[in-house]
Amino acid sequence: MKRKSLQQKRNACHWRRGGFTVTELAVASALLGATMVLAVQTLQLAIRQQSATRTQRAVSLEVANAMERMMALPYDELTPAVNQEIDLASRIQRLPQGATLQIEVTPLADERAKRVVVTVKWGEHSGRVRTPRSLCAYRYGPPEEQE
């Protein structure tokens, strides 16, 4: 009875394990495919989130610009009907499609003070309504003359 040397046993084992089996290749391909699907979905989500953030930033900027325009008006021109009189929406180009700009001027108990609220409401393509962006400011008229 001949005994195989350790070197011969190693060579025999090496000969049998010379490459990958079909099963190993199938498992590796399945793992690669699953990883690619997850990577593509994550990339799509990141792109959508970046677009939503860009839109929110533009809306916030436009609300601030509209409030600045309102505060630049003379005190007497700030009336509750200012929303119809001044067509700010046509001047605002960066708002998302379907966005509405609302300006609310409310006289306060102090006759010299007015509360101005500028609000933009908009939705997404999916139909989901986003949280409106609003700014509120108080405008005081000229001081009354003392006699």
Domain spans, the chain: 6-140
Position 41 scores a pLDDT of 97
Q: Rounded mean pLDDT of 128-140?
A: 87
**41-83 tens-digit pLDDT:** 999 999 999 988 888 888 888 889 889 988 988 888 888 777 6
Position 90 scores a pLDDT of 58
Position 66 scores a pLDDT of 86
Position 6 scores a pLDDT of 66
What Cα–Cα distance (Å) separates residue 125 from each residue in 2, 51, 102?
79, 12, 21
**pTM of the prediction?**
0.65
Position 42 scores a pLDDT of 97
Q: Which helix (H) or strand (E) element contains residue 65?
A: helix 22-72
**9-29 tens-digit pLDDT:** 666 555 555 677 899 999 999
What CA–CA distance (Å, rounded) separates 4 from 100?
87
Which one is predicted more confidently, 129 or 78?
A: 78
Distance of CA 70 to the CA centre of its chain: 26
- For the chain, counts of helices (H) and of strands (E): 4, 3
Residue of 132, 64, 63, 139 lying closest to 106 (CA atoms): 139
What CA–CA distance (Å, rounded) separates 103 from 79?
10
Query: By the 8 A CB rule, do 91 and 76 touch?
Result: no
Per the DSSP assignment, residues forming a β-bridge with 120 are 101, 133
Residue 85 scores a pLDDT above 90 = no
Residue of 89, 115, 85 lying closest to 102 (CA atoms): 89
Position 60 scores a pLDDT of 87
What CA–CA distance (Å, rounded) separates 100 from 117?
14
Residue of 99, 101, 119 lying closest to 55 (CA atoms): 99
**27-52 tens-digit pLDDT:** 999 999 999 999 999 999 999 999 88
Residue of 108, 129, 126 lying closest to 117 (CA atoms): 108
